[in-house]
Structure formats: C-alpha cells, structure tokens
Amino acid sequence: MTQPFRADLLEAETRKHQKRRARLAAIIGATTATFLTGSVLAWDWAFGSMPKVSSQEELWTLNRERGIEFVDQNGATIAIRGPRYGRAVALGALPKHVTQAFLAVEDARFFEHGGVDGIALVRALGENILAGHTVQGGSTITQQLVKNVYLSSDRTLKRKFQEFRLAWTIESLLTKQQILELYLNRIYFGANAYGVDAASKRFFGKPPTALNLAEAAMLAGLPKAPSRLTSSINLADARARQHVVLDRMVTAGFLSTPDAEAAKLVPVSLTPLPDPEIGTMAFALDAAIEELKRAAPDAPPDLILTLTIDRSLQDEATAIVQTTLDAEGKARRTDQAAAVILDGRGRILAMVGGRDYATSQYNRVTQAKRQPGSAFKPIVFAAALEAGLTPDSIRTDRSVAYQGWRPKNYSGGYSGAMTLDAALARSVNTIAVQLAAELGPAKVAGMANRLGIDTGLKLRLSMALGAQEVSLLELSRVYATFAAEGVRIDPRVIDSVTTSRGVELLRPDARPPQQVYEAFKARQMTEMLMGVIESGTGTRARLAGREAAGKTGTSSSYRDAWFVGYTADMTAGVWVGNDDFSPMNGVTGGTLPALLWTRLMNAAHKDLPPRPLPTTEDLQRKADKATLVSFYESLADLFASASDTISAEDIGRQREAISPQ
C-alpha cells in the first residue's frame, strides 16, 4: 500500500540537511580561519623579526665589531685595535688550491645548489641518526655567510628557517663568485682573525696569495672549530683536520691521491704571530682614534689607518724624554713631560704624551691644558705687527697698572725703552701687556684663534702673559703657522683612512691651504723668534749649524715650563711639569724644556741638510741698534721721573710720540 505524501516529513528532512551543511560550513570555516591564523602567526614567528638583505655593501660590513689596523708610511702594520680583518682579497687573486680547499671541506656542491643543499641535508640527517648525535652538518657556504652576517649562533628551528630564506635571498641577489668571495673575507678563523687575509698573515706570516697546498688545507680546516683548532691550543687537532680537508679535496676531484698524501707530509708551522707591540706608539694610536672620531664618525668598522708617525723618530723621541726625566727629573722635582714634532705640512712625526703610557694613558700633548706663560707672547706680537707696528717699534719697559693689576718682569726690574724685537727676545712682561692693552684683548684672542688656538680665551689682559690654559698641540700649531709663512697648519696623525677593501674614506692632506696671516709679517715673526734663541731667553735651544726660531714659557710658581720652536723643516713643542700642578724646582722654559727641545730636534734633523729659515730680506735694520736703544733709554728716564705708574692712555700717547712712522 502506497504511503501517503507527508509534506511535514519532507520539510523536517530538509531542515536536517541544512543543519548538517551549516555545521560543515562552520567547521570548514573555523578550520580555514584557524589554519590561516596559525599560518600568519607561524610566519610571523619564523620571519617577522628576520633581518632584511639591503645591499651587497651591507654584507661586507654589517655586524662587524670596530677593528682598526694601523700602518706606517711603508704599509707595515704598527698595531691592531679590536678584531683583525685584514685586507679584502679578490677571488681571482687566490691560488686555485686555496678556494678548492674551502669548497671541498665546507660545500663541495656550492655551484650546484640555490643556497640550501637538500641532498646535503638528507645525507647529514642520515649520518646523524646512525651516529646517535650530530656528526655532520648540512649548511652551505651561503648559509654560513648568512650566520656570520645576520644571525646568532643559536641552534633553534626559527633561526634555521630564517637561515634558509636569507640564503635563498642572497643567492638571488649575488653571483656565486661574489658569495664565495664574501665568505672567504668574513669567516672567523680564531685568534681574533676574520677573513682569509688576516688569518693567513696571523698564522703563517704571509698573504693568502702565497699559501702552499698544505697551508691552504690547514687554514680551510680552522673555521669548523676556530677556538679549539688554532695552534696555540691544539696543533695536533689542526693537523688532523688538515688531513680531512685534503681527503675531501680528493673526493671532490680537486686533487689526486698522491698529491694529497704528499701535502700531508709537508711540515707546516701554524704558530699565531703576536700583534706588533704598541710600545712607544701608544699615545699616537689613541690620538689617531680620536682624530678618526672627529673626521669620520660614521666610518665602517673595517678600517686601515695610515699614520704620519716616523717610527724611528718616535722611538728616539720617547727615549729622549724618558732618559732626560730619569736623569734630571728628581732634582728638578719634575715628574712629567710631553713633546710633539710636526713637519711643514702639519703631519705629526712623533708624539710623546707622557713619561710612561703603561702608568698613565693621559695624553699631555692633546688632552692636557696648562698655562703657556711667555710662550703665548708671540701671538700678541703678531697682532701688533698686523696692527702696523714693526720689530723696530719702541715700547718702554716700566711699571704699569691696569685696574689695580701690576704685571712684573721675571727679573723684578725694568729696562726702559727697547724695540719689540728686543722685548720678545728678553721676554719682557710689561711690554707684552702694554701691546695687549693697545690692541684690545679681543684682537689678541682673535689672532690666537686664527693661528691655531681652538680653546676659548677669556678677554683679559693677563692672556698676554699666557695666564690662560691651552694644549701643547694647539700652541705648537701656532708656531708651525709662523714657520709656514702664515698658512694655517692643521696638525694630524692620520695620513689616510681606507676600508679593508681599499676604499679611501679620508685623506686630510687634500684640503686647500688657508692663508691666515700675512706672509711678510710671518717672516718678521720668524726673525724675532730667531733672536730669542740667538741672544734671548732660549739660548740653550741653539742647534749647531742650523737656524732655529722659538720661545720659552714659564707659568707662575714654576708649575709649567715650555719651549716651542721651529726650523725650516719641522716644528716641535715641549712641556714639562707635574700632573698635580705642584711647583718644580726653578724649572723655566729656557732650562729643561729647551734642553729637551734641542735633543729632539737634533734627532729629527740628523739626516737632513741645513736650510735657512724664511726671513725678510728687505727688512731694514738700524746699523747701530745699541745706539738707538740708548737714545730711547734716556727718554725712559724722563718718564720715570714723572710717575711710577702710567695708564693705558699714557701708553697710547707715548706710542704716538716715539713709534717710528
């Protein structure tokens, strides 16, 4: 009997199917959403913080510590601060057996994969499962480059995922040759050496272009465990690893078995070479780093600094300072000294920042600021010449007062009228102050700044007597500018800065010269400063058979003593004193500093022929200067009878009355 049609049952069945479809759709939707969310989260977990590959340049420098190699004018290494990176070596410059050794032991299929070698990964996994622990890795050279440049050494799944992706990215940006070259120049070999050039020089004392097969195989074996395999720790293991490399070269088809066996018998001395001793160069190295920070603060980390220092002269200058202090320091109550020698271009040939770097790293040439005393006076006289006076202009040495301050001479007495030439040679305080008063402190400070004093000076008349502190390098720069006939000298200890790839970043000598003082007047200053050494306070600084110009300086209570001077070839500055500012035993600029200066300059000039200083040929001197001075001394007696004290206005009237026009 046929069942009657039931619309209610059909409707119920339809609702049932709809509910099933809705549940299925919900499950599929939820699963899809969960999958997508999980995928996004997993992707973000794996790659969200992954570094980005920006450029090939970045691959050379990223995540390198600052490493500086200091070299001399001949390219010989003086010292290394930080990691040793060596010079970048082009792949084509290396012998085939060098690159083949690295390929054989690290990535024999390097030219066949796309950055990640699936075959090597499967093989390594099988070997590790059979051994029960990790005995073989599957990382390619590209992956190792990624680890060196971008990633930490943590063994995590996340890091491995990032390593794979970055390796593929690098392979898409660079050629195989570029990747291999980067790898060889960045890989760590142990003993603070990065790159094949640094390692080859460190362990074998030769460039990588000169490595024989046995040495190349030993070098290629070091990156696997650089700390353990370097010879100072385990030479036996390093040799065993070398044999592995040679066997792998045979397997890879790079080498025949007889050649590999022969290479295993070649004696190799893998002894790390110590970095060159810093020794007497330490102060100069510190100064070079500070100079680099100012000139190229954003320089890349792999730098080679060519220094201006003459290594032989530096050694000799250090010895002169130390032996002189050892011999005379105790009696003179003098514990410290500093010295600097510059050539005519401002290149620092020697820098002795103190008695002993090991005891104190404080550089008294560049960092210390002390009162220069009368060594500052040439700046005042230079300003006077620029204002129209001449070396033969007359001023009167007598008691003067400025707002209650009475400058006094070292001798305690007064000598009456004299030329500016004589006043500077005899270091007369009262005349230096009179000139500063006539010119105004602002003009004196401006002249100091133009000639090379960067320290801000307070506008006080006492600056004429060197009562404000400056550095030895600043003051030496002033005298070097006189020696250069008014062309401003910029002292430097760096000749050039390049990266380990040979890219030149800085060459200070390329800057155009700047004339800051009239050449003729600079020659006049030279003549006046020659008088200081010939017959003034600096006679102990005479150089046999060689013209020299300079000035003594002594601060109050014998706390500082200076001598700064120059020849036609060099400028040198010397300071002696005590770090605690305690007084010395009667040391003036004309005693111990002048003695040190003479010894230093004799050492610096020993291989140079004498050359005359640039003086004025047309400067007319009076035939009998003594008669002229005698005449003005009689005038001084007239002034002395009138008053014991004269004002700045009085000095001005005297200048108008007696100065030659």
* Rounded Cα distance, 659 and 661, in Å: 6
- Give the domain-ending residue among 218, 250, 265: 265
Give the per-residue pLDDT at 130: 58
Q: Are residues 84 and 206 in the same domain?
A: yes
Give the per-residue pLDDT at 277: 57
Higher pLDDT, 90 or 135: 90
- Give the domain-ending residue among 220, 247, 265: 265
| Structure confidence at residue 48 as a pLDDT band (50, 70, 90) | very low
| Structure confidence at residue 554 as a pLDDT band (50, 70, 90) | very high
| Stretch 174-183: mean pLDDT | 92
Is pLDDT of 305 > 70?
A: yes
Q: Among 432, 376, 400, 393, which Cα is nearest to 560's?
A: 376
Give the per-residue pLDDT at 659: 35
Give a yes or no: residue 430 inside a domain.
Answer: yes
Q: Are residues 378 and 256 in the same domain?
A: no
Q: Are residues 261 and 382 in the same domain?
A: no
Give a yes or no: residue 289 inside a domain.
Answer: no
Is pLDDT of 500 > 70?
A: yes
Is pLDDT of 660 > 70?
A: no
Is pLDDT of 591 > 80?
A: yes
| Stretch 413-424: mean pLDDT | 96
| Stretch 162-170: mean pLDDT | 82
- 422: domain CATH number? 3.40.710.10
Contacts with 245 (C-beta within 8 Å, 6 or more apart), sequence order: 101, 104, 105, 217, 218, 220, 221
- Give the domain-ending residue among 226, 250, 265: 265
Give the per-residue pLDDT at 623: 38
Q: Three-state secondary structure along 211-242?
A: CCHHHHHHHHHHHHCHHHHCHHHHHHHHHHHH
* Rounded Cα distance, 560 and 554, in Å: 6
Q: Are residues 383 and 260 in the same domain?
A: no
Give the per-residue pLDDT at 235: 75
Q: Are residues 261 and 388 in the same domain?
A: no
Contacts with 481 (C-beta within 8 Å, 6 or more apart), sequence order: 451, 452, 487, 488, 489, 516, 517, 522
What is the C-alpha R_g of the chain?
A: 38
The tens digit of pLDDT for each residue in 318-330 reads 999 999 999 999 9
Is pLDDT of 618 > 50?
A: no
Please count the structural domains in the chain.
Answer: 2
Give a yes or no: residue 237 inside a domain.
Answer: yes
DSSP 464: G
E-assigned strand segments in 160-298: 188-190, 193-194
φ, ψ of residue 388 to 5 degrees: the values are 120, -10
Give a yes or no: residue 353 inside a domain.
Answer: no
Give a yes or no: residue 386 inside a domain.
Answer: yes
Residue 120 identity (one-letter amino acid): A
The tens digit of pLDDT for each residue in 428-461 reads 999 999 999 999 999 999 999 999 999 999 999 9
Residue 537 identity (one-letter amino acid): T
pTM here is: 0.79
Most confident option among 24-38, 133-147, 298-312, 374-388? 374-388
DSSP 347: B
Quote the distance between the C-alpha of residue 515 and its chain's center: 27
CB 312 within 8 A of CB 327: no
User: By mean pLDDT, which of 130-139, 196-205, 214-223, 354-363 is the weakest?
Assistant: 130-139
User: By mean pLDDT, which of 218-222, 434-438, 446-450, 507-511 is the weakest?
Assistant: 507-511
User: By mean pLDDT, which of 116-130, 443-457, 623-637 is the weakest?
Assistant: 623-637
| Stretch 492-515: mean pLDDT | 88
| Stretch 628-653: mean pLDDT | 44
* Cβ neighbour number for residue 455 with a 10 Å cutoff: 13
* CA-to-CA separations, 475 to 19, 378, 380, 448, 553, in angstroms, rounded: 96, 10, 13, 9, 11
Give a yes or no: residue 519 inside a domain.
Answer: no
- Chain-wide mean pLDDT for the chain? 85
Give a yes or no: residue 615 inside a domain.
Answer: no
Q: Among 238, 211, 252, 264, which Cα is nearest to 104's?
A: 252
- 163: domain CATH number? 1.10.3810.10
Q: 144 lies in which domain range?
A: 70-265
Q: Are residues 261 and 115 in the same domain?
A: yes
Give a yes or no: residue 592 inside a domain.
Answer: no
Q: Among 257, 343, 352, 368, which Cα is nearest to 568's?
A: 343
Give the per-residue pLDDT at 62: 76
